[in-house]
Amino acid sequence: MNYISSKNFIQVLNVLKKEYQLYLPNKKNNQRFYKKYSEFSDDITIGEVRAFEPLKAFFFGARAKVSEDFKSEIPISKEKPFAIIGVKACDLKGFKVLDFVFKGEDVIDPFYAKARENNLIISADCTCAIETCFCLALDVKPYPQENFDINLSQVKGGFIVETGSQKGREIVEKNSSLFEDAKTEFINERDEQRVRVIKEVEKNIQEKEIPRQERFKGIIEKNYESNIWKEEAETCVECGACNSICPTCHCFLLFDQKDNQHLARFRLWDSCMIKDFAKVAGGVNPRNKLWMRLRNRFEKKFDFFPKLANIYACTGCGRCVSACPAKIDIRKVLKRLSGNGK
Amino acid sequence: MGNNKNPYRSIESEVLDVITESPTITTVKLKPKELLSFETGQFIEMSVPGVGEAPFTPSSRPSVKDMMDVTVMKVGKVTEKVHTLKKGDIVGLRGPYGKGYPLDSFKGKEILVLGGGVGLAPLRSLMYALFDRISDFKKIYFRYGARTPKDIIYKNEVKEWSQRGDLDFRITVDAGDETWKGHVGLVTTILDGMAINVSTGIAVVCGPPIMMKFSTFKLLDLGFKIENIYLSMEKNMSCGFGKCGHCRLGTYYTCKDGPVFTYDKIKNFPNIWD
């Protein structure tokens, strides 16, 4: 296992800058936002918890041109690929859902596939938990175990470095003079930190009585006609923030630019909470009530994906809890659905 | 990996002809500039440049590979624009998507083709496909209902089919007019008395949701097997290949797992007729 000092880490960033557009979490008002890297500053926060924005934005952009005129070529961006640094384990779980959607089955989304191939992920252990964290309920540990190129565990004066892909190994090899063998005391420090953060997340789960995913089986079918949906949807303002902010939500809209001289088709993030999401051209809307759409959102995450891909499409990141202006809390809904709440 | 393929791209297609079927229904005859053929029952995404895209099931003979007809009812912004298209105009086509009717598994069987309103569009393509290999099937029954005589689409074809000796043919309208001499009543009222063997017969249904719902119940009453009832489900398919999430039906996406489903596949999903 390797170690890199903070000073040398900045050197690695400067090397990577030549090939990638680097994005690092910057702390502002108690939140962490990905910001394009130019030089190192004190606001850069590799550890702590997940950033405000979901990682999917770098792989499946909120607005992407996917076709132009009738040209058979794929519109190619001439920009450098992204290197996203400080990614947390909850966001990495999102790849399991997004890969299933965009890379699985017979049709591959060429834009997503290319981003997955070219982008670089340097993830990091969480060094604390915040009130909305509940990853452990979804069987996600607060430190990355897969789907990264390089993982960093913040310890005294630097980071423990683990590689998770050939691309990651090559970066370490090419810059080997900047890395050193990790001392046992640092490895111990990392392990203690991991245990401490797990305890913090456990505390959230205990206090809020959040059910673990073992109890999710059948909760949608069992509660399909329940009043829970109507009650929980009562305050919803249909803003779609829960969808936009979710690392696993993948639904999109194809939008043709309103210009018949310059044809362009865009793929835009869509939201299943918005009224017209499932409406057909003739006007029939299978989910014309808000509570039906809330139920649909949970059905997709906790019934559809487990049945098709053997995965719950929630990572326990808690972003939707923070983002919802109506204070609809996925943890509370899950608690009610699994029969452990009123 | 399909590296060079862009699934979001439409193929430029020329409007060869525009045929008015009824006051609200028009058929456009299209010639894609690259090969785009389909199996009966599959759908395509058609776009009007600068307006948008919508899913349609071609209504023409699938064995004609270089052209296709798309029959469109005026219901929304894209379809309204389709109704203004003229010969020589350009549209975009993507597809084909989904699974068509499994004609090979219909071999040797009696087939009931049951349509309502503009739902005859995909069924016209099915009828052509059946006629192309009619000796493969034991007998074909055709039943069709429209709201009024004016709403009957493909009047020429329908008249032609009524005169075929190899087709058991009946149509109805919900409300007649002074010219109408045929049966009056919902389409479910012309399903009694068929000589079809319901324990092995195939029923293919396409029409508005309410018609499909009551037709399915009627067919079950008559004794058709749930796995022999083929339904065309209407959802708002957008991407066409199971990624955009709009057309989910239980654990399926209508675009890639349908749009044709046998009733047994979907009957346990809640609210399938909504």
Q: What is the pLDDT of residue B217?
A: 97
Distances (CA, A) of A143 to A90, A191, A311: 8, 10, 19
Closest CA to A77 of A54, A53, A111: A111
Helices (H) and strands (E) in chain A, counts: 12, 11
Confidence of residue B47 (pLDDT cuts 50, 70, 90): very high
Which residue in the set B3, B8, B236 is minimally distant from A67, CB to CB?
Answer: B8
Asked if A70's CB is within 8 angstroms of B12's CB, the reply is yes
Take residue B263 and report the two structure tokens written for it. 């009733």
B268/A contact by beta carbon, under 8 A: no
Rg (CA), chain B: 18
Asked if B49's CB is within 8 angstroms of A260's CB, the reply is yes
* Architecture in CATH of B105-232: 3-Layer(aba) Sandwich (3.40)
Residues of B in contact with A307 (CB under 8 A): 251
Rg (CA), chain A: 21
Every domain of chain B and the residues it spans: 11-97, 105-232
- Other CB atoms closer than 10 Å to residue B248's CB: what's the count? 23
At residue B94, φ and ψ (nearest 5 deg) are -130, 145
Residue of B nearest to A266 (CA): B8
Take residue B179 and report the two structure tokens written for it. 């010219």
Confidence of residue A294 (pLDDT cuts 50, 70, 90): very high
At residue A236, φ and ψ (nearest 5 deg) are -60, 135
Q: What is the pLDDT of residue B152?
A: 94
Residue A282 has pLDDT above 80, yes or no: no
Helices (H), B16-119: 77-82
Instruction: Specify the amino acid at residue A127.
Output: T
Q: What is the pLDDT of residue B122?
A: 95
Q: What is the pLDDT of residue A158?
A: 97
B9/A contact by beta carbon, under 8 A: yes
Query: What is the number of CB-based contacts under 8 A between chain A and chain B?
Result: 124
Q: What is the pLDDT of residue A283?
A: 79
Helices (H), A46-109: 89-102
Distances (CA, A) of A289 to A241, B234, B244: 18, 19, 21
Residues of B in contact with A286 (CB under 8 A): 235, 271, 274
CATH of B11-97, picked from 2.40.30.10, 1.10.10.10, 3.30.70.20, 2.115.10.20, is 2.40.30.10
Confidence of residue A284 (pLDDT cuts 50, 70, 90): confident
Residues of A in contact with B33 (CB under 8 A): 70
Angle between helices A110-118 and A89-102 (to 10 degrees): 140
Q: What is the pLDDT of residue A281?
A: 81
Is the preceding omega at residue B259 within 30 degrees of 0, hence cis? yes
Asked if A88 and A31 touch (Cβ cutoff 8 Å), the reply is no
Confidence of residue A100 (pLDDT cuts 50, 70, 90): very high
Residue of A nearest to B2 (CA): A108
Q: B179-188: string of b/e by CB count within 10 Å (b at 16+)?
A: eeeeeeebbb
Pairing label, strands B110-116, B90-97: unpaired
Residue B153 has pLDDT above 90, yes or no: yes
Q: What is the pLDDT of residue A340?
A: 57
Asked if B249 and B231 touch (Cβ cutoff 8 Å), the reply is no
B74/A contact by beta carbon, under 8 A: no
Q: What is the pLDDT of residue B1?
A: 33
Mean pLDDT, range B194-208, rounded to an integer: 96
* Beta-bridge mates of residue A46: none
Residue of B nearest to A272 (CA): B246
B75/A contact by beta carbon, under 8 A: yes
Asked if B9's CB is within 8 angstroms of A67's CB, the reply is yes
The length of chain A in residues reads 342
pTM for this model (two decimals): 0.94
Residues of B in contact with A252 (CB under 8 A): 239, 243-245
How confident is the prediction for chain A on average, in pLDDT? 95
Q: What is the pLDDT of residue B4?
A: 53
- Other CB atoms closer than 10 Å to residue A36's CB: what's the count? 10
Asked if B69 and B28 touch (Cβ cutoff 8 Å), the reply is yes
Q: Indicate the SS3 state at residue B247.
A: coil
Mean pLDDT, range A278-290, rounded to an integer: 88
Confidence of residue B2 (pLDDT cuts 50, 70, 90): very low
Which residue in the set B53, B79, B256 is minimally distant from A256, CB to CB?
Answer: B53
Q: A130-165: string of b/e by CB count within 10 Å (b at 16+)?
A: bebbbbbbbebbbbbeebbbbbbbbbeebbbbbbbe
- Other CB atoms closer than 10 Å to residue B56's CB: what's the count? 25
CA atoms within 13 A on the CB side of B128: 20
CA–CA separation, A269 vs A63, rounded Å?
A: 7
* Beta-bridge mates of residue A23: A36, A84
Using the Cα atoms of residue A333, residue A334, residue A335 and residue A336 in order, give the sign of their dihedral.
Answer: positive
Tell which B residues from 199 to 258 touch A, by Cβ distance under 8 Å. 208-209, 234-236, 238-239, 241-248, 251, 256
Residue of A nearest to B252 (CA): A304
The length of chain B in residues reads 274
Q: What is the pLDDT of residue A104?
A: 82
Q: What is the pLDDT of residue B96?
A: 96
CA–CA separation, A145 vs A88, rounded Å?
A: 10
* Beta-bridge mates of residue B68: B30
Distances (CA, A) of A275 to A286, A287, A290, B13: 10, 8, 7, 33
Mean pLDDT, range A242-260, rounded to an integer: 95
Residues of B in contact with A284 (CB under 8 A): 209, 234, 274
- B74-116 pLDDT, tens digit per residue, is 988 899 999 999 999 999 999 999 999 999 999 999 999 999 9
Residue A50 has pLDDT above 90, yes or no: yes
Q: Say which DSSP state B226 is in.
A: G
CA–CA separation, B244 vs A252, rounded Å?
A: 5
Mean pLDDT, range B3-32, rounded to an integer: 91
Confidence of residue B3 (pLDDT cuts 50, 70, 90): very low
- A307-335 pLDDT, tens digit per residue, is 999 999 999 999 999 999 999 999 999 99
CA–CA separation, A177 vs A154, rounded Å?
A: 20
Mutation for testing the B interface, residue in A65, A70, A259 having most B CBs under 10 Å: A70
Q: Say which DSSP state A316 is in.
A: S
- A150-181 pLDDT, tens digit per residue, is 999 999 999 999 999 999 999 999 999 999 99
Residue B262 has pLDDT above 70, yes or no: yes
Please tell me the distance in Å from A116's CA to the nearest CA on chain B: 14
Least confident of A295-309, A327-341, B8-22: A327-341
